[in-house]
Structure 1
Amino acid sequence: MVGGGQLARMTHEAGIPLGIRFKLLSDTPKDSAALVAGDVVVGDYRDLDTLRDFARGCDVIAFDHEHVPVEHLRALEAAGVPVRPGPAALLHAHDKGVMRERLTELGVPCPRHRIVADPADVTRFAREGAGFPVILKTVRGGYDGKGVWVVRDEAGAAEPFRAGVPVLAEEKVDFRRELAANVVRSPSGQAVAYPVVESIQVNGVCDTVIAPAPDLSPALALAAQELALKVAKELDVVGHLAVELFETTDGRILVNELAMRPHNSGHWTQDGAVTSQFANHVRAVLDLPLGDPRPRAKWTVMSNVLGGDYPDMYQAYLHCMARDPGLKIHMYGKDVKPGRKVGHVNTYGDDLADVRERARHAADYLRGTITE
């Protein structure tokens, strides 16, 4: 796996019961996955020679992120290295402009959008549609709210163009909430779909995920799953695909983003589904039969633990585990920085209000923002 973050760490964990040898290309020896994997290569994923050396002896290459240059992936594929998902698919997660163009060709509903050249072009885009405010995104490199701006006039549109990469303008969607449809597809074409979830964002970062999304009509839930399966098939995705969606106030769904790897909106599956997103991702990239994606409980809630002023972690565990024996804690071993995702918790049960409160209390206590 290329990339040493928490997604690689949890994918590695899912492969252990199958006896899979997991080799990691990590930026540093202190990255989340590098702390637990037995075979770690420290190197730069942007260097083709490093990637070639790393790939020797690997049966298949998978990814913790979408930032590996696509031309490098094509070179690996041309050399006979199985890359899953392949560069033709990953391009759509790597470049938001390419993604929007391809989804539009497929008839997949998206926000109104266009590549814009400069702030004056942003104004023209606004005048052609719903006006300001407009969402601007750098087509490459953004995540967790980074590389995304809400601009309210031409003067406010200058900042995104300073990055020196193309800028995508999108209408600001009038949405009720954000959803995510997670699916997994194998090279042989088998695919499974998890329940559609509600994803609650705070300052552009995923805070809480509720599975399944409360009060979502069965028809819209089915439409979201079918849309995600269609995207996975048409883009030839192998492995896990997260399709982030807007549920609009008039009852439609629009695609916001794609992620071709395990995703924060699927972390609930570690404890709340028969087969987790990580286990199914491992099965898919190895072309093994996929596991059951159905939920184990009526409700599962995932809350992220963000960096803050931590109490003694042992004492925090004593409190949280004693208070809630059903709580599942997943910490990533990362250095704590304000606002950084350093772990998550999962809770489950029959009463949604109770499940949400338990997850919120644990996340806040582990962060150190509450003390009782």
Structure 2
Amino acid sequence: MTFPVVGMVGGGQLARMTHEAGIPLGLKFKLLSDTPQDSAAQVVSEVVIGDYRDLDTLRAFAQGCDVITFDHEHVPTEHLRALEADGIPVRPGPDALVHAQDKGVMRARLLEIGAPCPRHRIVSDPADAAAFAEEVGGFPVILKTVRGGYDGKGVWVVRSEADAADPFRAGVPVLAEEKVDFVRELAANIVRSPHGQAVAYPVVESIQVDGVCDTVIAPAPELDEELAGEAQQLALRIAAELGVVGHLAVELFETRGPDGKPGILVNELAMRPHNSGHWTMDGAITSQFANHVRAVLDLPLGDPRPRAPWTVMCNVLGGDYPDMYQAYLHCMARDPQLKIHMYGKDVKPGRKVGHVNTYGDDLADVRERARHAADYLRGTITE
């Protein structure tokens, strides 16, 4: 029996780290990448350079693969259906993945299954957006293009009808959502296999800066135990209802009702390894990447429990200091327990080029160590 070949569409850092998780298992990876310089293309031995939007390219790439999975959600749904018709296992499949590709489809399905969501509807023009704002108590509201957005792109906070023109220029449907007065952002990460086995990681707090994930704290500090369980159960139910295979991240708003009772609302879904799960590489018994690989191959899933009371992940963003390698000496000497994960990307201001993980018994100490390392690598501090 030969070891299976996992076909990964997309050459970013998620593919790079998924490949890393498969190495101890002896798995073979085949990568469809945009360029030879992409993060994963630098480390995977079998790389096909091509356009994932071209069906013939996808079909040729899929030959010899035992399963196809992704590091992004942008492959056209009809192409995935064609691969399935060719007998190629696609995980997650197109019927599930469309809910991460199209925010309008996602919202409609979540309402159908009774998942708590912000008030929302598809709007046709700025005047319709203004009408929606009236329906939910006035501006500001959130406008999102239904496809293609990520890391704050394709999302606008609109404060008047005059502000609402930009989202409609892309020529794709626009989803309007109420602007939620939330306490903080949470994420519930789960992994589900084809035969229905599923595991849930601790619910984490996700701190955003300028629409980009900056820091993740695992588990979310001072989170009501009942609410944490509710968030995990919600993520597991969504995965089962939508038929997700692999990793699912459910991004959540934590809210407070008029009576002070905590609650949650679903913000976004991602059906792939996710930034809010990067802490698991060093902080969990089995990482999100290892469990994603296990799931798409229908192997038994690994233990998601944390290794330490606290783990903190900080993203390393590009700044004006391009030679981050020179900063390793200071960071590693200052904190021998620090885990640095770099993506092989050119350093550009604001670009995610890596992340750091720290862990331990004292949350304040763990946070400070992660924040210091991320800032030193970026060059925003020098000591």
The TM-score normalised by the length of structure 2 is 0.96
Alignment of 1:170-209 (within 5 A): 170-209=177-216
Task: Report if aligned partners of 1:138, 1:160 keep a CA contact under 8 Å in 2.
Answer: yes
Matching residue's letter, 1:76: L
Cα deviation digits, residues 232-269 of structure 1 (max 9, x gap): 00000000000000001321100000000000000000
Alignment of 1:198-237 (within 5 A): 198-237=205-244
Residue 129 (structure 2) pairs with residue 118 (structure 1): no
Alignment of 1:1-372 (within 5 A): 1-250=8-257, 251-310=262-321, 312-372=323-383
Structure 1: distance between partners of 2:134 and 2:185: 26
Cα deviation digits, residues 156-197 of structure 1 (max 9, x gap): 000000000000000000100000000000001000000000
Cα deviation digits, residues 186-238 of structure 1 (max 9, x gap): 00100000000000000000000000000001000000000000000000000
SS at match of 2:300: coil
Matching residue's letter, 2:42: L
Shift, 1:337, TM fit: 1.1
Structure 2: distance between partners of 1:122 and 1:340: 31
Structure 1: distance between partners of 2:22 and 2:247: 15
Change (3 A) 1:88 1:79: same
SS at match of 1:241: strand
Matching residue's letter, 1:357: E
Shift, 1:98, TM fit: 0.1
Cα deviation digits, residues 48-80 of structure 1 (max 9, x gap): 000000000100000000000000000001111
Task: Report if aligned partners of 2:218, 2:312 keep a CA contact under 8 Å in 1.
Answer: yes
Structure 2: distance between partners of 1:272 and 1:46: 36
SS at match of 1:254: strand
Shift, 1:289, TM fit: 0.1
SS at match of 1:252: strand
Matching residue's letter, 1:146: K
SS at match of 1:214: coil
Structure 2: distance between partners of 1:315 and 1:131: 51
Task: Report if aligned partners of 1:73, 1:83 keep a CA contact under 8 Å in 2.
Answer: yes
Cα deviation digits, residues 311-353 of structure 1 (max 9, x gap): 6434311100000000000000001111010000000001100
Shift, 1:152, TM fit: 0.5
Matching residue's letter, 1:280: N
Task: Report if aligned partners of 1:311, 1:366 keep a CA contact under 8 Å in 2.
Answer: no
Task: Report if aligned partners of 2:324, 2:378 keep a CA contact under 8 Å in 1.
Answer: no
Task: Report if aligned partners of 1:183, 1:242 keep a CA contact under 8 Å in 2.
Answer: yes
Cα deviation digits, residues 286-329 of structure 1 (max 9, x gap): 00000000000000000000011226434311100000000000
Task: Report if aligned partners of 2:322, 2:347 keep a CA contact under 8 Å in 1.
Answer: no
Structure 1: distance between partners of 2:32 and 2:140: 41
Q: Identify unmatched segments of 5+ residues in structure 1.
A: none
Cα deviation digits, residues 94-140 of structure 1 (max 9, x gap): 00000000000000000000000000000111111121101000000
SS at match of 2:244: coil
Structure 1: distance between partners of 2:46 and 2:181: 47
Change (3 A) 1:149 1:298: same
Cα deviation digits, residues 18-46 of structure 1 (max 9, x gap): 00000000000000000000000000000
Alignment length, in residue pairs? 372
Structure 2: distance between partners of 1:10 and 1:128: 44
Matching residue's letter, 1:151: V
Structure 2: distance between partners of 1:309 and 1:185: 41
SS at match of 2:42: coil
Q: Identify unmatched segments of 5+ residues in structure 2.
A: 1-7
SS at match of 1:44: coil
Structure 1: distance between partners of 2:89 and 2:291: 18
Structure 2: distance between partners of 1:262 and 1:313: 25
Structure 1: distance between partners of 2:87 and 2:326: 51
Task: Report if aligned partners of 1:211, 1:299 keep a CA contact under 8 Å in 2.
Answer: yes
Task: Report if aligned partners of 2:183, 2:254 keep a CA contact under 8 Å in 1.
Answer: yes
Structure 1: distance between partners of 2:314 and 2:296: 28
